[in-house]
Amino acid sequence: MEYKLIALDLDGTLTNSEKRITPRTKAALMEAQKRGVRLVLASGRPTFGIMPLAKELELARYGGFILAFNGGKIVDCKTGKTVFEKTLDPALVPTLYHEAMQAGMQILTYKGEGIIATSDKDPYVMEEAHINQMPVLQANAFLNDIVYPINKCLIVGSPAPLHDLELKLSQRLKHEMELYRSADYFLECVPLGIDKAESIDKLIDILGIKRQEIIACGDGYNDVSMLKFAGLGVAMANASEDIRQLADVVTLSNDNDGVGQIVEDYVLTPLS
């Protein structure tokens, strides 16, 4: 099979524990692009938080795409244009806010190059700010600050109580939005019908690429849909056991060039 598109989760997949792309993985991805393979950076991160990695991999030069907010927004890096976007129903945001507050959690969303959150001191909020290199702009009047369309809310907190809140919200809002855990302490809240596979499907329809021609790599539960959708679904060694079991292939960990190895074995070697 000649693969034409590689969809990559970022944290725990493309980047190592230091949130960097290792030299071997970068070299493999650059060579794949030179051979005409498209890259899609598919993440729960906001667009701004993905841009530095898109620039490092020269996606604008090679016609790559950013798939942000777990699929809520697709940006063509070459033109800078948004080719698909779906936003949260604003009527649902107060429910998320009140449930998060009642559970002792924090909630945040994004505005341009910054984060609006219910706390600018919570360690999980600051972790999200660090990952995306985005400042926390405001932290005192969350609902009053959101007077514009948003792609995603993120509820953050300790894993065990956050899991309980996820179960509660999943029952209450199961016909109104999608909920994903991108980390033990991050609960992604995105529009109904949004996941990475659905958005990749929309993108390949535009590009004229078949799903069998896709490699998807990921490590989290929000990656499951694209791992199942792709012609080759690749789980990282650092993924949980249930995610590894549903993948077609398990590669090395994100700290051991797992993505680089897959690109070398399935994209570069057959064409050498």
Quote the pLDDT of residue 270. Answer: 65
- Mean pLDDT value of segment 22-41: 98
Percentage above 90 pLDDT, the chain = 91
Which residue, 58, 104, 101, 67, is CA-closest to 86? 67
CATH number for the domain running over 5-85+194-271: 3.40.50.1000
Beta strand segments in 28-119, E = 38-42, 65-68, 73-76, 82-85, 106-111, 114-117
CATH fold, domain 90-191, is 3.30.1240
Could you tell me which of 267, 198, 257 has the C-alpha nearest to residue 232? 267
Assign 16 a pLDDT band (cuts: 50, 70, 90). very high
pLDDT level of residue 146 (50, 70, 90 thresholds) = confident
Give the C-alpha separation, 227 to 236, whole Å: 11
At residue 140, the pLDDT reads 73
Residues ≥6 apart with Cβ < 8 Å to 164:
103
Say if residue 272's pLDDT is above 90: no
Find out whether 232 and 251 touch, Cβ atoms under 8 Å. Answer: no
Chain segment 34-73, per-residue pLDDT in tens: 999 999 999 999 999 999 999 999 999 999 999 999 999 9
What pLDDT does 130 receive? Answer: 94
Instruction: Evaluate if residue 29 carries a pLDDT over 90.
Output: yes
Distance of CA 86 to the CA centre of its chain: 15
Work out the average pLDDT over 212-239. 97
Q: How confident is the model at residue 112 (pLDDT cuts 50, 70, 90)?
A: confident
Domain boundaries, the chain: 5-85+194-271, 90-191
Q: Which of 102, 99, 43 is nearest to 75 (CA)?
A: 43
Question: Mean pLDDT score of the chain, rounded to an integer?
Answer: 95
Q: ∠ at Cα 90 (88, 94), nearest 5°? A: 115
CB 106 within 8 A of CB 155: yes
Whether the predicted model's global pTM rises above the 0.85 cut: yes
| Mean pLDDT of the region 2-20 | 97
Please write the tens of the pLDDT for every residue from 153-191.
Answer: 999 999 999 999 999 999 999 899 999 888 899 999 999
The whole-angstrom separation of Cα 186 and Cα 165 is: 11
